[in-house]
Structure formats: C-alpha cells, structure tokens
Amino acid sequence: MKFGRTIRKLREGRNISIAQFARKVGMSPTYLAPIERDVFPPPAEQKVIRIAKALDQDPDELLALAGRVGTDLKRIIYRQPANAGKMLRAMDGLAQEHIDELVAAARKKNRRMRK
C-alpha cells in the first residue's frame, strides 16, 4: 500500500478529521489532503515521524513506506557499512522472535560497553 493511502486509512480508523490531524502534526489540511491521495509525495523525514507518532505507528515503518531511511540509521550504516550489511543480511528471513533476541543481546552488550 502507498504512503498516503496508509496514512488516510490509519487516520480514518481513529475517526480523526483531516483538519484535526493536520493540526496535530503541524501541517495544513490543504497540504496533507493531496499527500493522503498520493498526489503529492510523502513529506520530509521529521513530518513523517510526527505523523507516525500521532498515529501510534513505528516511525521506521512509515519512513520505509515513504521511501526513506531515518537519518540516524544512515549515520550508523555509513559509520560501519560492512558490519551493518553483514547484520542486515544475517537477519533477513529470521522470525520476529529471533530478531527480538538479537536486538536484546545487542542492547545488553552496548550497555556493558558504556559502563
């Protein structure tokens, strides 16, 4: 599904008018309406993140749907391109529970290294 249609479906599923939603995310309804119809391209990263938070969605999911990668992820990938590539390729196809285990292990290791 396209970015705009997804946003509209999520917004309407919460019974929020486009005017209310536009105010909530700091955009004008006249700008947001064509985005929801996929007439305009998705907005910039920070606006997509605000939209995701307002709809209780994962920002990375909506950024991907918008054809973008978060600035923080780009920074990590550019800092360690070989390792990022290895990790992403190794994770490809894993079940969610196994990815969650890897994430938990990496976070634990990171906490230990920072002490």
Neighbours of 115 (CB within 10 A): 4
For residue 57, pLDDT over 80 is answered with yes
Neighbours of 49 (CB within 10 A): 19
At 115 the pLDDT is 78
Query: Phi and psi (nearest 5°) for 74?
Result: -60, -45
Q: What is the pLDDT of residues 2-45, one digit of tens each?
A: 999 999 999 999 999 999 999 999 999 999 999 999 999 999 99
* Residue written as token pair 């780009």: 74
Tell me the residue range of the domain where 102 lies.
Answer: 80-114
For residue 73, pLDDT over 90 is answered with yes
Number of domains in the chain: 2
Contact yes or no for 47/25 (Cβ under 8 A): yes
Contact yes or no for 62/47 (Cβ under 8 A): no
For residue 95, pLDDT over 90 is answered with yes
For residue 1, pLDDT over 80 is answered with no
Task: Give the type of residue at 93.
Answer: G
* Residue 64 sits in the same domain as residue 18: yes
The CATH number of whichever domain residue 12 belongs to comes to 1.10.260.40
* Residue 89 sits in the same domain as residue 40: no
Residue 75 lies in a domain: no
